[in-house]
């Protein structure tokens, strides 16, 4: 990929993200964060309140963090490739992942975790010990499930005999479990393994995830294992084991898994370059199929609103929970009502964002859905 094409892609990508952030109605979790959360997400969602008079009021900090992640990923990828074009390609793939697009647009903790993890990897590669430590401590306070990251780093440090990083990781792991409650592991076995793989396929797009899974497995068997692989592999395996007994919260694991997409490109290049040109055709065809599926998945998210015209039952659309309260508020305004009583509190919070309060029994409006 050439530099000019990469910069053009970034321009169009940024415009598409801003358009999506502005036009997508407030989601159930976003509304809960905006009105109920007292932590860092709640604080950031109010940081630009009243500045734009649209959804950027609560999404801009997360959108900026998402764009910063693209730059950090590019910086990190340069330590894996000699040619700039390979860094451009891996960064483009990272940016197009459905999980990266949604994390940049929707209020969530994952986008902040990705920022810290990428920053830590860059600081580690540059051997900036103080900044490594500072980033890890920040992660402890930002992410409830940061113990996954600390355990992965501790395992890596043990193998590399990095005593400082090992003891710091063990200490922060203990802090995450004992003081910050760490990862929620409990309940009765439920068997959510297939559901977990479905979520991963949604985050990566199906074909990309399958190749990503293969890349992690191949590195485990044959290739040199660096700190990025340890972080991603540990989080991925931990999520699989946990899925056998309970439903896995993807924001607990996905940020640590998705950042190692660069390893997938490294494995592809190694697989391709060890073969003579006449034997590379099938591998290049596979690459084109995977990239095609990724682009289609990304376009489905960026232009998801058009799918409502295609799907007969709008409730089956993946973005329906975002739009239903917005449509209800529009219908209420048409009939001159400013109240509605929802069965779900988060839907009520969404309606509240559009100026719709809770009705008294005598004023419950009738709308046609």
Spell out the alpha helix ranges (H) of the chain.
3-23, 28-35, 40-45, 56-77, 84-96, 98-105, 110-125, 129-142, 147-160, 163-178, 193-204, 206-221, 227-243, 250-258, 261-273, 281-302, 320-334, 345-353
Do residues 129 and 277 share a domain?
yes
pLDDT at residue 361 tops 80: no
Neighbours of 319 (CB within 10 A): 16
Element (H, E) at 161: none
Residues 6+ apart with CB under 8 A from 275: 283
Q: How confident is the model at residue 365 (pLDDT cuts 50, 70, 90)?
A: low
Do residues 197 and 316 share a domain?
no
0.85 exceeded by pTM: yes
Of 253, 275, 302, the residue that ends a domain is 302
Whole-angstrom distance between the N-terminal and C-terminal Cα of the chain?
48
Number of structural domains (the chain) is 2
Do residues 294 and 326 share a domain?
no
Tokens of 158: 């043990």
Do residues 284 and 359 share a domain?
no
**31-47 burial by CB neighbour count: b if 16+ within 10 A, else e?**
bbbbbebeeebbebbbe
Do residues 341 and 216 share a domain?
no
Cβ 246 vs Cβ 199: under 8 Å = no
Q: What is the mean pLDDT of residues 316-331?
A: 92
CA dihedral 30, 35, 41, 47 (to 10 degrees): 100
Q: What is the mean pLDDT of residues 223-243?
A: 91
pLDDT at residue 369 tops 70: no
Do residues 215 and 298 share a domain?
yes
Least confident of 44-58, 61-75, 89-103, 269-283: 269-283
3 state SS of 279? helix
Do residues 296 and 319 share a domain?
no
272 within some domain: yes
Residues facing 357 on adjacent strands = 339
> What digits encode the pLDDT tens for the residues 137-176?
999 999 988 999 999 999 999 999 999 999 999 999 999 8
Do residues 220 and 327 share a domain?
no
> What digits encode the pLDDT tens for the residues 20-66?
999 999 999 999 999 999 889 999 999 998 888 889 999 999 999 99
345 within some domain: yes
Do residues 135 and 226 share a domain?
yes
Output DSSP code: residue 162.
Answer: -
Do residues 325 and 296 share a domain?
no
368 within some domain: no
Of 302, 329, 354, the residue that ends a domain is 302
307 within some domain: no
Rg of the chain in Å (alpha carbons): 22
pLDDT at residue 366 tops 60: no
Residue 232's domain comprises 3-302
Do residues 273 and 346 share a domain?
no
Do residues 316 and 295 share a domain?
no
């Amino acid at each position: 990929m050439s530099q000019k094409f990469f910069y053009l892609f970034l321009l169009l990508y940024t415009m598409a993200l801003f358009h999506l952030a502005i036009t997508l109605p407030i989601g159930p979790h976003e509304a809960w964060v905006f009105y109920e959360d007292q932590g860092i997400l709640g604080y950031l969602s109010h940081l630009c309140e009243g500045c734009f008079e649209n959804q950027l009021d609560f999404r801009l900090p997360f959108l900026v963090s998402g764009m910063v992640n693209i730059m950090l990923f590019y910086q990190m990828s340069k330590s894996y490739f000699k040619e700039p074009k390979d860094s451009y390609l891996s960064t483009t793939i990272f940016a197009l992942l459905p999980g990266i697009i949604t994390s940049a647009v929707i209020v969530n903790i994952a986008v902040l975790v990705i920022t810290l993890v990428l920053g830590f990897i860059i600081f580690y590669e540059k051997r900036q010990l103080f900044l490594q430590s500072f980033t890890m401590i920040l992660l402890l306070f930002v992410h409830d499930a940061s113990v996954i990251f600390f355990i992965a780093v501790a395992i890596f440090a043990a193998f590399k005999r990095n005593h400082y990083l090992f003891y710091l990781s063990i200490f922060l792991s203990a802090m995450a479990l004992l003081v910050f409650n760490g990862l929620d592991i409990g309940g009765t076995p439920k068997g959510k393994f297939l559901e977990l793989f479905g979520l991963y396929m949604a985050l990566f797009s199906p074909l990309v995830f399958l190749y990503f899974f293969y890349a992690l497995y191949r590195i485990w068997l044959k290739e040199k294992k660096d700190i990025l692989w340890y972080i991603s592999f540990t989080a991925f395996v931990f999520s699989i084991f946990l899925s056998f007994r309970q439903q896995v919260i993807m924001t607990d694991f996905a940020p640590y898994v998705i950042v190692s997409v660069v390893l997938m490109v490294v494995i592809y290049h190694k697989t391709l370059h060890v073969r003579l040109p006449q034997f590379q055709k099938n591998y290049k065809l596979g690459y084109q199929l995977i990239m095609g599926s990724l682009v289609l998945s990304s376009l489905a998210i960026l232009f998801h609103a058009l799918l409502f015209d295609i799907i007969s039952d709008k409730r089956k659309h993946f973005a329906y929970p975002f739009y239903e309260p917005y449509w209800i508020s529009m219908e209420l305004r048409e009939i001159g009502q400013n109240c509605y009583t929802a069965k779900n509190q988060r839907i009520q919070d969404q309606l509240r964002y559009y100026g719709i309060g809770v009705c008294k029994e005598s004023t419950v409006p009738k709308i046609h859905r």
